[in-house]
Structure 1
Amino acid sequence: MAGVGPRLRALRRARSATLAALANETGLTASTLSRLENGKLRPTLEQLLPLARAHGVPLDDLVAAPPTGDPRIHLRPVRRSGLVIVSLTRRASGIQAYKVIYPPAGQAPTMNLRTHEGYEWFYVLNGHIRFVLGEQEFQLSVGEAAESDTRIPHWIGSADSQPAELLTLFGPQGERAHLAPPRH
């Protein structure tokens, strides 16, 4: 945080902005801006956010945040009941995200409808899915999605001789994945 003042001054001067102009732009006083630039005032988040916006830089650049390191995520697939399951969520509660790969029809365990607590939403990434929900049966292809209360007897599997891949969101306490329409 020690270098914030000089960075703020350099950014303002690079834009050829006066303290008064920056004060109008950010809602901060010219006096506060001067004290921040001279290191006489320790900046708060409420001060840094409008300054980052005004200068058009990420907040991390203002505070010289250290690099985050390796951005790669190392996922560990798990094999269960003939499926390959990759957890995409790191937290223990709330809606969980998974990539699930179903083996080709005929190589999967026999269809066995099951029930459990929760709510599930899935999207077909690759292949064709056979989805049995209670007395109904559905065929889904790439780009299609379905959702259901998992207390209703259900079964999901590949519909043909190819594996099928799904992106699944599961709410163990019945949470639903709500998709909001775009706002105009």
Structure 2
Amino acid sequence: MTANEAVDTRVRRRLRELRTEQGLTLAQVAERAHIDVSTLSRLESGKRRLALDHLPALASALGVSADELLGAVPPADPRVRSQPQKMGPMTMWPLTHRGSPGGLQAYRIVVVPDGRVPPDELPVHEGHDWFYVLSGKLRLVLGEKDFIIEAGEAVEFSTWTPHWFGAVDGPVELIGIFGPQGQKLHLHE
């Protein structure tokens, strides 16, 4: 079954599949659906166009829902398979597909210590950031305050507040969620 397969083609194929899986004859399904055997035969073979009013009776005759008879296209593969992106001391693995609802993007992030210190002027941008530290220690400078965020702790802050973060005493692994503006900034620092 493909996304491009026409609905009527899909229904005809599913009708035949379900009928044969259940070991039913055309006559048995036609009787249960209260339609003529020749009509059912022509529906299955594509010689007669399927009408919407056929669906409930045929689904009931086969003991399935109309959705099962329609053979809806299966959902796309939900796995996120993007390549990691490296930016200086940070490597980010996308955990969400592009175009996620609300424009939010989640990343698994590993930050290695590189001797960097916060710049004299901390960056500010539109948006909101959220981090959850999985392992290690994260230094977060937020305005005039300096925090050490340890494994198991989460932080959330407006990115209108001047901010900077880096690893302390070894690599830090975290989950980060960024809005569209924060994503652009963090991926291109």
1:59 maps to what in 2?
Answer: 72
Contact 2:109 2:175 in 1 (8 A): yes
Structure-2 separation of matches of 1:14 and 1:108: 66
The reply on whether 1:163 has 2:171 as its aligned counterpart is yes
Q: Which 5+ residue runs of structure 1 have no aligned equivalent?
A: 24-29, 175-184
Q: 1:36 and 1:132, CA in 2 relative to 1: closer, same or farther beyond 3 A?
A: farther
Which amino acid is 2:72 matched to?
L
Counterpart residue type for residue 10 of structure 1: E
Change (3 A) 1:36 1:149: farther
Verify the 8 A CA contact 1:117 1:172 in the aligned structure 2: no
Label 1:43 to 1:87 Cα distance change in 2 as closer, same or farther (>3 A). Answer: farther
Look at both structures and tell me which one has the larger radius of gyration over its CA atoms. 2
Deviation of 1:173 after TM superposition, in Å, equals 5.2
Q: How far apart are residue 152 of structure 1 and its match? A: 0.5
Deviations 1:101-152 (A, max 9, x none): 2113xx2310233211111112223322222322444333334322111011
Q: Counterparts of 1:77 and 1:58 in 2: how far apart (Å)? A: 38
Are residue 90 (structure 1) and residue 98 (structure 2) matched? yes
Q: Tell whether the 8 Å contact from 1:132 to 1:156 is kept in structure 2 after alignment.
A: yes
**Cα separation, 1, equivalents of 2:124 and 2:17:** 62
Give yes or no for the alignment of 1:14 onto 2:29.
no
2:125 maps to a residue whose letter is H
CA contact (8 A) 1:36 1:43 kept: no
- Relative to structure 1, the CA distance from residue 170 to residue 14 in structure 2 (aligned partners, 3 Å threshold; closer, same or farther) is same
Secondary structure of the structure 1 residue equivalent to 2:66: helix
Shift of the 162–83 alpha-carbon distance from structure 1 to 2, 3 Å rule, reads: same
For the Cα contact (< 8 Å) 1:126–1:142, is it kept in 2? Answer: yes
Residue 111 of structure 2 is aligned to residue 111 of structure 1: no
2:159 pairs with 1:146: no
Whether 1:101 aligns to 2:110 is yes
Counterpart contact for 1:120–1:148, Cα < 8 Å: yes
| Residue 79, structure 1, aligned to residue 92, structure 2 | no
CA distance in 2 between counterparts of 1:98 and 1:108 reads 23
Aligned CA distance change for structure 1 residues 6 and 114 (closer, same or farther; 3 Å): closer
Q: Structure 2: where are the runs of 5+ without partners?
A: 183-189
Cα pair distance change 1:115/1:41, threshold 3 Å:
same
For 2:147 and 2:71, locate their aligned partners in 1 and report how far apart those are by CA, in whole Å: 47
